[in-house]
Amino acid sequence: MVKIVHLDFDAERPSLGDDERWLFVEQSEEGLFYGSGGSWKPSGEWVGYGSLAENDTDLDRAITAARKWADRYDVPTIWVFASNCD
């Protein structure tokens, strides 16, 4: 199960090692929510995540899309940086 960690949009990014799987959802100044991340396939090949424009318009959509990718590639945490985090 993927853990979602909400932080204020200007919070310091976590310090992650080169061998760690990661996924960020970040709010832009325009109010969009861009996702980016990195992990490995079972074969050991690196795979990257970049959100699709249709998922960037809403925080819930951005997190839902990111969670699907994180589940597929065993990313344990999605770090969300947005001004309206609770």
User: How many angstroms separate the CA atoms of 38 and 19, rounded?
Assistant: 10
Per-residue pLDDT at 86: 47
Q: Average pLDDT of the chain?
A: 92
Give the whole-number percent of the chain exceeding pLDDT 70: 97
Task: Characterise 49 by phi-psi region: left (phi > 0), alpha (psi -120 to 50), beta (else).
Answer: beta
pLDDT band at 54 (very low <50, low <70, confident <90, very high): very high
User: How many angstroms separate the CA atoms of 65 and 80, rounded?
Assistant: 13
pLDDT band at 15 (very low <50, low <70, confident <90, very high): confident
**Cα 35 from chain centre:** 5
Give the contacts of 5 (CB within 8 A, at least 6 positions apart). 77, 78, 79, 80
* pTM score, whole prediction: 0.90
